[in-house]
Structure formats: structure tokens, C-alpha cells
Structure 1
Amino acid sequence: MDKARVLQFSDSLRERLSEETKKRAAFYKIFPKEIYEVESEFEDSVIIGGKPYKKDIADQRKVLVGEIKKKGYERVVEEITYTWFNRFVAIRFMEANGYMPVRVFSSGTEGKKEPDILTRALDLSFLNVDRGHILDLKSEGKEEELYRYLFFRLCNFLHETMPFMFEEISDYTELLFPERLLHTDSLLEDLNDIISEEDWRETEIIGWIYQDYIAKKKDRLMAAKKAYTPDQIPAVTQLFTPKWIVQYLVENSLGRLWMLNRPNSRLFEMMDYYIMPEEKESDFLRISSPEEIRVCDPACGSGHILVYAFDLLYEMYKEEGYIESEIPQTILRNNLYGIEIDKRAGSLAAFALVMKAKRKNRKFFESPVQPNICVLENISFDEGEFEDYMSAVGSNLFSSGLKETILGFTEADNFGSLIRPSSTSLSDIRRMLNEKNLSSSLILYETHKKVLSALKQAEYLEPRYHVVVANPPYMGNKGLNEDLKKFAKDYYPDSKSDLFAMFIERNLDLSMKKGLVAMITMQSWMFLSSFEKLRANILDNETIITMAHMGPRAFDSIGGEVVSTTAFVIENAQHPNYRGAYIRLVDGRNESEKMEALHEAVVQSAGLLGLQKEA
């Protein structure tokens, strides 16, 4: 993959979309320091700043203005820019892979510039288009307006299969849709020309585009050297994990679990970084079928780890004789779980998994399954609101632990997966409450929806996973805002010095007994006195299965920033006599050298055990 072209694409498209968003806002008399009021309203128009607009924009503009007053101009522009960026990237990816029923940004006819969605406008019955409206726009030569109309119809069509990426367009984002897309110098030039068709076919490109998209914001925030607010945390902590590191982590956790349960499996032949145990093991987590396995990434970002786990799971199902066309849906339904605090990254993770499923089953869109990606959202209750709700549904249903769990998401965007539910078996409680009919009371019904949403989020945070894999956020004490600092002190006293260390502790909680936790983190927890209790807890209660000590420069993608890391797999059980596989990679001068050294060590290990692995 040409990473330089990916970076160029992300930078160019982001900047151009941002400028277009600001231009469209200005068109509706919305500026960074001034927002014009609606002067008068008529039956078919409104007057703003002395200029007439169609009446149907009034409600959307009102909501947009409300959002700007609440969040600020720059933040709303950023959110809308990314919304359209996400949708453009998703459609371009599907178009390049042949997953779209019509080409949207280009033509399948060589030498033709006009997108097929325009030339085939009257044939797009699946979009439920208004043929009369199309004919009117064509006869009046309003190609741009027609393209806009068809694009919105397409987004609403895609909403049926991917609601996480394509919310139904009837909100204020529609107002700020880019103009002049059909001109030769438009955004379509970037979408079609910068990244090659071949690179667009790699699912991995989704994560690289996202990392490059937020890179400038990350640099700006880190240069400020201040504590980060909840909305800034995703940008400064997102780090796309290179594929070879993902393979090492997933193969020695998920792959290991499978090989222990299926010792005759040939899956190891497909795992380049899997380290076979030196001796036969008998004390491990038992599974009877691949459908049982639950894999979680509690800081999933754009989903790279989950996508590779999908590949391994697919091979497991094939070995067990499942019908191949049914495997993708089964994996998304049963096996993979991602948790995020950034809605944008969560949408991309879900999209990447759907694209992986589509690649394995071309008919996936005919019976789609929504990925289990949970974007944690703040949920709060007004004074007395929750007590009134409990009285209405039966206060005997709510233990003190359950109440604490439901009320524990007021700062979900700040604490994320570090939140520990105080109650378990939450799916049963949620089903029970879901059966309550509270639609007759508007106030109680709104509270009811919040309670159910809190319970659904809490279910993801229960200790129920066979495998937990993560490249968690790295953030030291100086970056923690005051609320996060207090939360860390109260709930993670042994690991409070850095977010990544808290995630080591938390991931061990998320896994089942004898489950496997695989992570790449900063190496500092191995040495510093501030992590002494964390180390002691791991050595006293868990077992390190393997560790690849990367040292600095394992991530070429972050340029000059030197992050010293270590990758490891821990079993959530104590085996005092177990001999772990430790690989020293600190001498490698760059990512490529470390990758080669790790693979060579794995091949040598396999050779010592008499196994055949390709060098």
C-alpha cells in the first residue's frame, strides 16, 4: 500500500471538505462569530440577511444553529466534515470493490467522466426515486441538483444495511453537503485519482485513512501539552496497529485458544506469528464450537484487530464444516465485540467488518447482520427521574449494584471501557425491562429508553470474553483531565499512572477465567516503580504466555515520535511452572527489522518443535 498517497488523500479531502462545509454554512448566513436570525417567514420561503431561502431549510437550519450554540462553530464544522468524509470514503471503497449497485463517483465506461449514477438516473428504481422530479431536473439542466438528490437517496438506501455509517439524511448535515461536485476541480478528483484502485481493495486502508485524517489534530493537541477534554482523547490516543503486530497478538490468543481445543487443526499453518507450546497442555479454557468464542477489543478504533480476528474465525468455522455462505453472518452475530468512545472510529470499525463479511459472501447485503460495535455514550438522569422510573416498573427489580451500574455512564466518553459494571447478568434484566410497556407516559418512556441504553452498554463491559485483544490508549498523568485523574485514583490505584496500564488491569477483568488477554502497550510497566503493584498482581495471579519486547521504533507510521513498546499475551490463570516465550526485538532499527526478527524467531521455535513453518 502506498502510505504516502493515503496521507495525501486524507489531508486533501479533509481540508477541501472542511472548506466546503464552511462555505455552505456561510451561504446560510452562519459564520464563526455571527449567526443571522430569520427575519421573516412566508408560506414558501424565509428571509435571512435580506436573502430569500426555501421554506423547507428553516427547521434544519434551526437545529444546526442550536448545535453551534451548544458545541461551538469549529466543533460542529469538524463533526459535519467528518460525517461526509466517512460517507465518501465508504462509498468509494465499495465502488472500488464492486459492492455498489451503481458507480457514484466515476463511470464504468473508459474515458467517460460523468458518474454512472447520473447517466442511469431513471433506472435506479432500488433508490425509490421520483422519476418526474428527475426528468424535470434533467430538462432544466440542473445536473448538480440531480446529483445531490440521487446521492441523498443513495445514503438513505445504504442506511438499511449500514445505519451506523449512513444515518437517514433529513437533518442539518444535508444543508452543508458540498457543492459543485461535478466540476473538474471538485472533490471527486481526490476520490478518484489519488489512491490507486488496487489499494482501495485492501480493507486495511480504512484504518490508515482514519489515522491520517486525525494526525494534524493529534499533533496540535499534543504540542499544547495540556490535559485533554473527553472530546480530545480519541484524537490524541488513536494509533493504527500494523498488521504484523495484530497477527502476533490475535494468533497467540484467539489462534492459541483454537489450537488447544483442536490439537489436530491445521490452522497453525496460516498463522505466521503463532508460537506453538513446547509441551502438551491440559489445563485451558474449553470450547465446544466456534460459535461460543467471544473476542473483544475494548478500544477498537477503526477495527483492524477485529478484522483480522474475523479472518481466523472464518477458517475455524470452515474446519468445523459450516456452510461458507453463512459463516460471515454467524461471526458478526456471535463472536466479535468492539467498544469505542469515538463515534467516528466506531462507525469505521463496523464498516470494516461489514466489508469483510461482504467479501466472503457477495450476498451479505440481502440478509445483513449488524456488527457488535458499542460506542459508549454519556447517559444521565435528572434529579428524581430514575427514582420515579423505579417506582413505575417495580423498585424490587433494582439492587444497589444495578442502580450503580445504570447511573455509571454520566462520563462514558471520558472513562470508556474502564467503567466496571457493579452488576452482572444484565441481558436478563434488560429483556425483562424491555417487556414493560411505558409508551403511554412520554416522560417515563424517555427514561425507559435511557435505562435500556445504559444496560446495553454495560453488557459489553461484563467479564464474559474468551479473548480480549487491544492496542489501548497511551496517556500519562499529565494528559488526564481532573475527572479522569480522580476516577483512576479511585478505581485503578495500582495502574493510575497511565491509561494503557489501567487497560491491562481492566482487560484482565473483562476476560473469563483462563481467558487470554493480548495487548501492545508502552514498555514502562515492565520496569518503573509506579507499576510495581500491577506487575506483582500479574505474576501472582496470571501467566505470561508470550512477550515480544519491541522497544522503540516499532511503529514507522508515527514518524519521529519514539514510543517504546512491548506486545504480550497473558492467560487469566496462574500456572507457576509455565515457560513463556520471550522475544527480544529492541535492537531492530525500524518496524521492518523488528517484524523480520519476530518472524524469524517464530520459525526457529517451530523448527525446534519439528513443525514446518515458512521462513
Structure 2
Amino acid sequence: MHGLEIDPRCVEIAVFALALAAWRYPDETGSPLGVRVEMPVPGIACCGLKVAASPQDWEALVPDDAPNAAHLREGLSRLHETFAQAPLLGSLLDPSKANKGDLFAADYPLLADLLGQALASERQIPLFRDEEDRWELALSAQGLMEAARLLDARYHLVITNVPYLTRGKQSEAIKKYCEDHYPEAKNDLANVLLERCLELATVGCGVTQVVMPQNWLFLTSYKKQRESLLKGCELEPVGTAGYGCL
């Protein structure tokens, strides 16, 4: 189980809740297992942390003698620009889209290792220094490197209650990002997040479940998105919820 949240405080609460459940989990005698070395690290990260380094700091990670060094630096610069918007984009942030459509920028697979190095340098302290305080440190928000790993992975089940925000109420930065990457869903942030969740689902066997407004099911402004979903997805039952709907 993995989780992403834009608010660092919510990440801390979620990690603590998981840690408490793990501490209280009963052994074969029914007694709580308590804190133990073999406890897994929570797969929860904050996708709303802003990078501290400058684009030049990231570009400096590329050796001068590296093949296509200029293209790699350009690619890292684009990635820095994307991650600088993390507090605004949250889980919409997609490392693989930073250089999409740019024939002169490096491909994302070539940049993955360099991105890991760049994001690792953003951490002020290591997440786990030793066994004694590994869970104490886990109670704070994990860094962008973990968030990037989760945002780049694919999952069998993606489930969330998406945020709702019509295009008229979106900031210019959000408007542009949605129009550039999700033109068929841009009229509401909820529909954009639906598309992002579908991207995060494993191709062929992934399932996406979301809670969102229902007006897009019939409004003409979402016709192209509905057509795309009907052609590209297998829709399970869609149900309405709210006052008087049980």
C-alpha cells in the first residue's frame, strides 16, 4: 500500500497512524508486537515539497565529459522547473512529462539516475540514520525523491477522492498545465486528476476508483473525454452518491 499527499502535515498523520497500527498488531498470543526492526518503511510521501536547490545546482550534476551533456543539462533544467511546481501540482506532477514534445531535450529514462541524485540532495537529514530512530524519523514527511518514485510507478489499484476546481477558478499556472497535458479534461481539476489516476494504474489490469462530481457524465464540454474513456477503458458500474442516494 502506498500513499501520496500534497500537505506535509497529512503525511505525518498518515505515517503515524500506520506506525501505531503496526505497533499494536497482535502476535500469535494476541499481544501487541510493538516496535521491531523488521517493520517495513511506510510507502507514504509528500508530493508538495518544493525543491531547495537552483537549476544550476541540478545541471552541475552532469559531468562535462558525459555524452550529450548539454541535452542532459537541458533535461534536468526542465525537471527542476517541474518539481519547483510541486506545492501547486501535487500528484499531478509527472517526471516523465517534463520534456514531452521537446526534440532537443534528453529523454526521461536517461535522466532518471540524475534526477535521483538531485532529489537526494534535497534532504536535510537521512530518513533513517540507524535502527534506533528509524521510526521516529519516519513520523515526518518523506522527501521528493520518494514522491518521485511513487509518481513514476504503476499500481494495481488507484483510489482517491479527487479535488474539485472548475477552470474559471484555477490559477493561470494550473490552467496552463492542465491544458498542455490534459486538454480533454481541463475544464475541472477533478477530471484532470481522473486522467492522472488512470495513468498511474497498471496497463491492462489496473483499476481506478475515484469520487468526483457527476456533471461531466452529461455536459457537452466533456464529450471528448467521455469518448476517450469509452474507447480506452473498461468502465465498471458508475454510481451516484450524496443526499438521498444510498
TM-score (norm 1): 0.31
1:382 aligned residue? 54
1:356 aligned residue? 21
For 2:172 and 2:90, how far apart are their aligned partners in 1? 15
1:489 aligns with 2:210: no
Relative to structure 1, the CA distance from residue 401 to residue 386 in structure 2 (aligned partners, 3 Å threshold; closer, same or farther) is closer
Work out whether residues 468 and 510 of structure 1, in 8 Å CA contact, stay in contact via their aligned partners in 2. yes
Deviations along 1:281-315, whole A, 9 cap, x unmatched? xxxxxxxxxxxxxxxxxxxxxxxxxxxxxxxxxxx
Deviations along 1:423-449, whole A, 9 cap, x unmatched? 3598x727x966xxxxxxxxxxx9860
Which amino acid in structure 1 is aligned with residue 233 of structure 2? Answer: E
Work out whether residues 405 and 458 of structure 1, in 8 Å CA contact, stay in contact via their aligned partners in 2. no
The total of aligned residue pairs comes to: 207
2:63 aligned residue? 391
1:339 aligned residue? 4
Bigger share in helix: 1
Structure 2 counterpart of 1:521, from 193, 198, 212: 212
2:82 aligned residue? 408
1:570 aligned residue? none
Q: Secondary structure at 2:16's aligned position in 1?
A: helix
Structure 1 counterpart of 2:42, from 348, 371, 377: 371
How far apart are residue 486 of structure 1 and its match? Answer: 1.7
How far apart are residue 392 of structure 1 and its match? Answer: 6.8
For 1:433 and 1:505, how far apart are their aligned partners in 2? 26
1:417 aligns with 2:82: no
For 2:65 and 2:93, how far apart are their aligned partners in 1? 26
Work out whether residues 424 and 462 of structure 1, in 8 Å CA contact, stay in contact via their aligned partners in 2. no
Deviations along 1:374-425, whole A, 9 cap, x unmatched? 1121115435332222237956684865653354211101111112222359
2:199 aligned residue? 509
How far apart are residue 549 of structure 1 and its match? Answer: 2.2
How far apart are residue 541 of structure 1 and its match? Answer: 0.6
Structure 2 residue runs without a partner (length 5+):
27-31, 97-107, 124-142
Deviations along 1:67-117, whole A, 9 cap, x unmatched? xxxxxxxxxxxxxxxxxxxxxxxxxxxxxxxxxxxxxxxxxxxxxxxxxxx
1:479 aligns with 2:169: yes
For 2:166 and 2:64, how far apart are their aligned partners in 1? 45
Work out whether residues 463 and 510 of structure 1, in 8 Å CA contact, stay in contact via their aligned partners in 2. yes
Structure 1 residue runs without a partner (length 5+):
1-335, 435-445, 554-588, 595-615
For 2:211 and 2:50, how far apart are their aligned partners in 1? 28
Which amino acid in structure 1 is aligned with residue 146 of structure 2? Answer: K
For 2:146 and 2:226, how far apart are their aligned partners in 1? 33
Relative to structure 1, the CA distance from residue 537 to residue 357 in structure 2 (aligned partners, 3 Å threshold; closer, same or farther) is same
Relative to structure 1, the CA distance from residue 518 to residue 448 in structure 2 (aligned partners, 3 Å threshold; closer, same or farther) is closer
For 2:116 and 2:5, how far apart are their aligned partners in 1? 25
How far apart are residue 516 of structure 1 and its match? Answer: 0.6
For 2:148 and 2:120, how far apart are their aligned partners in 1? 15
Work out whether residues 46 and 144 of structure 2, in 8 Å CA contact, stay in contact via their aligned partners in 1. no
How far apart are residue 473 of structure 1 and its match? Answer: 0.8
Higher radius of gyration, 1 or 2? 1
For 1:498 and 1:404, how far apart are their aligned partners in 2? 26
Structure 2 counterpart of 1:450, from 119, 122, 126: 122
> Which structure has more RCO (C-alpha within 8 Å, separation ≥ 6)?
2
Q: Secondary structure at 2:87's aligned position in 1?
A: helix
For 1:540 and 1:530, how far apart are their aligned partners in 2? 18
For 1:400 and 1:383, how far apart are their aligned partners in 2? 10
RMSD: 3.1
